[in-house]
Each structure stands twice: as C-alpha cells, then as structure tokens.
Amino acid sequence: MKALTRAALALVFVGLLLFFACGGKETAGARYHCPMHPTYVSDKPGDCPICGMRLVPIEEKTAPTTVPAYVCPMHPEVVSDKPDRCPKCGMKLVPKTETEQPAPATSGTPSGERKILYYRNPMDPTVTSPVPMKDSMGMDYVPVYADEVEASKGRAVTGYAPVSLEPEGIARSGIQTVLAEAGSLGQAIRAVGTVVPDERLLTHVHTKVSGWIEKLYVNFTGQYVKKGEPLLEIYSPELLASQEEYLRAKALAQRLATSASAEARKAAQELAEAAAKRLLLFDVPQDFMAHLDATGTPSRTVMLRAPTAGYVLAKDIFAGKQVEPGMELYMVADLSRVWVEADFYEQEAALLKLGMPTQVTLPYRPGAVFTGPITYIYPWVNPESRTVRVRVELPNPKGELKPDMYANVEVMPAEVPGVVIPDSAVMDTGTRQIAFVEEKPGFFVPREVTVVRRAAGKALVTQGLTAGERVVVKGTFLLDSESRLRAALAAPQGGTNDQAHH
C-alpha cells in the first residue's frame, strides 16, 4: 500500500514539473501581431485594437529564408506574400521566389544596380520612408529610383514619366520595339473637292430704277446668254419722266441756239447735257439714247441686255413683278474657267504651297485628268472637320466641269527629310503626339514628336526623334497609362497639370 502511494505521488510531481516547464516556455518570449495590421505587436494574446481580429503568434526567424512571393508583371516593385491584384493596374500578381533581404536606401549601390532614393506610400506619394515598410493596410511601400527621378526632371512632356520594366514584365505585356530610320515619305496626298464657279467671273444684274417687269426674254435658270442679248423690258415712271425732261431741255437748247444771248444758250445747253447724263446714270444704253434723239418720243419701256456671256445661275423675277433699285434680277456665270475647292487635313496643310501642281479627276469619268496649280490656301481651319481648304484653278473650255460636281484632287508634295517610324508608334492625344523611346533596356521614356505625314502605315517625324533610336510599336497603351499614373503619383498632392491635354 505504501508503495502504491509513493508511485502516485511521484507521477503527480513529474506532471507538475512538465506543466510548469511548458507554460514557462510558451509565455517567456512569445509575441503576437494582427494579421491585417502587422505593425501592431503585443507580448500577450488578445484582440487587435484597430480591426478587432484575434492576434496570432509571430514566428521567429533566425536567418534569411526563401519564401514564396508574388510580383506584378508591370510593376516589379509591387511585391506581396499572398496572391492578390496589383493596387496600381489591377493585374494579377504572379508567383516569384526570392530571398528576403530588406535593406534601407543607401547613397550608393554596387556597380550595375539601380539606386533607390527612398520608398513611398502606394496610396499617398507624399508619405515616404528611408527603409522598406508597410502601410496601415499592409501594402508594401514602393521604391523610387534615382534614374527615374533624374530622367523625369529632364523631360518636357508634361503629365508623363519614364517607365522601368523587368524583362519578365516586358514579355508579359507584349511590348515590342523597332529602330527609327532616317528617310522621307513621298506619297501623294489626296482629298475630295467640289467644283465651284470662279467668283471673279460672276455677274450680278441689277436695276437702278423702280418699276415693273413688262417682258422677260431669259426666263429660266441654266439658260446660256451672249453678251448684249436682251434679258427683259422694264416700265419705270421715273425713267419715263427723265426721258421727257431730257427732250424738253434739248428742245429749249435748240430754240435758244440762234436768238438768245451767249449766257442763255450756255445755260440751256448745260441743262440738256445734265438731263442726258441722268439717263446714262440709270444704265440706259447708248443705242436707246440714239433712238430717243432720232425719234424725239419717249419710250414707255426700256430693255436691259446681258452685260457678259455665260449661264444664268439664278433668276428671281417674273413678268409683272415690281422691282426696286439694288434688287438682283439675274446672276450670270462665265464657266470657261472654274475653281475646285478641296479640304485637306490639318496636319497636311504644312505640305501644301501656292503654285504646287495638282491632278483633278472626276468619279463619273475615269481616265480624264485635269491639271492646274494651287492658286489659294484659305487662312482658316474648319473647326468641325479640322481641315484646311485649298483652291485649284482649272480651264473649262468644253464645260466638262460643272458647278457642285465632286472631284478627286491629288497633290504630290516635295519630299521632306525626317525619321520614319511605324504609324502604330505614335499616340495622338488630340493636342499633341507621343512616342515611347527605349533609351536603355527596360527603360522607356515618353517623347513629344511632330508628325508631318502619314502613308502606307508609316509616319514621318521631323521633331522629337533621331534615327537609330528604339521606339515602342506594341504595348504603347499600357506604357501610356503607366507613365501618366507615375507622373500623377510623383507630382505634388498627387496631381499634374496635364489635365488640359486630355
């Protein structure tokens, strides 16, 4: 019995020793943190004061270990210890295993490595740190490299920043580059034009007296008239009174020619000349005056004749209509020479010069070619179509070119030397043109370029690029969004002044 009692006491003693030994080991050096807020650390279990989640033990690490990590293909500086999406572009993070070696930013780096100036908060770029860390949401601070800062300072492209990508990110994004080549584009530029009458050959027929149309000789539009051909007869009380006044003054001058004094004869003669001049100012023709002198009888109507040869383009009168001075009766156009007005795109206007030869063809007559020079370039741009109007002057002896007819205008501008790149390398924002240049492997810099001509999938650049540089032809939209995002994050208060450009 005594032996059993001693055995039981021994077992209880051993159990107490084991309990106190394990409990002491558990509480002696244990530390706890919040899974969502790893910056909150406690030396005892409990709840996170920020989110209320239970604290979990922190695993002790005595040496650098290889841990699974996830990285963004477009933003290699974004690294996470769990699969997620990139907070910048939304792309899925891809697995990548690397040795944990966090180190603070230093003033110098080994040869061949990029220099990190500091780390910034991914959500608020004004918050920075000299060492790697996480924000209150557990997101890693983003490194800011010296080469990116220096490159962005030397660039004049407002609202854009250089972009650095690892080879893996370039491959996943499908970015491709080609060499810019020196050359020129000599392809003709074309536009659709419209045939219009030469404004200098338009004649507007008016009357200078009030009256009524008694008879029409030319009574439909499109009718061809010769110079001097009768157009109409007009009855005007004012014109009839002027004829009678002229005849009375003339008769008085004839009576006083032999009997009166020299002063009276001179006055009568001047009165007759004034009456005749008044008739002429009413555009009464000379043959009408001769007939009036010969008969001595005023005419009830006066005939108006065509002042020039051409086609009647407009007629706004009919027999019996009352007319007033200044009213347009006919518009007659001489179509022996016409204009073709064509609208070229705004970026092509710099290639067009006065006197440049053109070829004009008609859709309804394939094979017929008319040639003529550019005689005028209008000094404004159409605000809706963003085009510049050009005038071409053409002879039209056979009348083949008719007003309002469509025509194709082709101009062969002089070759302009420059840099030729694929058209896909140029991004047009509406106010400027941007191309991305790979200045060194994986380092893409935005450039503002000037494109003067496009043809056959190529673009001719005269400013912003030099031959031999590498330009991006695929993946430009990804680079554009990333470049503008980095510029916005790096700018004061997280904004840029480039909003005016987009």
Is residue 295 within 8 A of residue 223, CB to CB? The reply is no
pLDDT exceeds 50 at position 499 = no
pLDDT exceeds 90 at position 501 = no
User: Would you state the pLDDT for residue 133?
Assistant: 84
User: Would you state the pLDDT for residue 456?
Assistant: 79
Angle value at C-alpha 9, between 8 and 11, nearest 5 degrees: 65
pLDDT exceeds 60 at position 494 = no
Q: Which of 155-159, 166-170, 492-496 has the highest mean pLDDT?
A: 166-170
Please give the residue that has the higher pLDDT: either 243 or 138. Answer: 243
Dihedral sign, Cα of residue 37, residue 40, residue 44, residue 50:
negative
pLDDT exceeds 60 at position 33 = yes
Distance (Å) of CA 237 to CA 76, 299, 300: 96, 11, 8
Q: How many CA atoms lie within 13 A of 496 on its CB side?
A: 18
Domain 163-185+416-501 and domain 189-198+334-411 have a common topology = no
Task: For residues 240-246, give the mean pLDDT.
Answer: 88
Q: Can you tell me the distance from the alpha carbon of 25 to that of 57, in angstroms, rounded to the nearest whole number?
A: 14
Residue closest to 102 by CA, chosen among 137, 75, 141: 141
**Domain boundaries, given as residue ranges, for the chain:** 1-28, 31-60, 71-153, 163-185+416-501, 189-198+334-411, 208-325
- Output the DSSP codes for 452-485: EEEETTEEEEEES--TT-EEEEESHHHHHHHHHH
**Among the ranges given (194-198, 303-307, 395-399, 453-457), the one the predictor scored with the smallest mean pLDDT:** 453-457
What architecture is domain 163-185+416-501? Answer: Beta Barrel (2.40)
Tokens 């490299």 locate to 145
**Among the ranges given (31-35, 172-176, 423-427), the one the predictor scored with the smallest mean pLDDT:** 31-35
Q: How many CA atoms lie within 13 A of 429 on its CB side?
A: 24
Q: Is 208 left (phi over 0), alpha (psi -120 to 50) or beta?
A: alpha
Residue-wise pLDDT tens digits, 180-230: 999 887 778 899 999 999 999 999 999 989 999 999 999 999 999 999 999
Residue-wise pLDDT tens digits, 140-165: 777 777 766 665 554 557 888 888 88
**What does the mean pLDDT of the chain come to?**
81
Q: How confident is the model at residue 340 (pLDDT cuts 50, 70, 90)?
A: very high
What architecture is domain 189-198+334-411? Answer: Beta Barrel (2.40)
pLDDT exceeds 50 at position 458 = yes
Instruction: Kindly report whether the global pTM for this prediction surpasses the value 0.75.
Output: no
Residue-wise pLDDT tens digits, 423-455: 999 998 888 899 999 998 989 999 999 988 787
Task: For residues 351-366, give the mean pLDDT.
Answer: 90
Residue closest to 339 by CA, chosen among 376, 380, 386, 378: 376
424: burial class by Cβ within 10 Å (0-12, 13-18, 19+)?
Answer: middle
Q: Can you tell me the distance from the alpha carbon of 386 to that of 94, in angstroms, rounded to the nearest whole number?
A: 46
- Strand ranges inside 287-353, DSSP E: 301-305, 310-315, 322-323, 328-333, 337-345
User: Would you state the pLDDT for residue 496?
Assistant: 45
Tokens 């020793």 locate to 17
Is residue 191 within 8 A of residue 409, CB to CB? The reply is yes
Which pair of tokens denotes residue 192? Answer: 């659709």
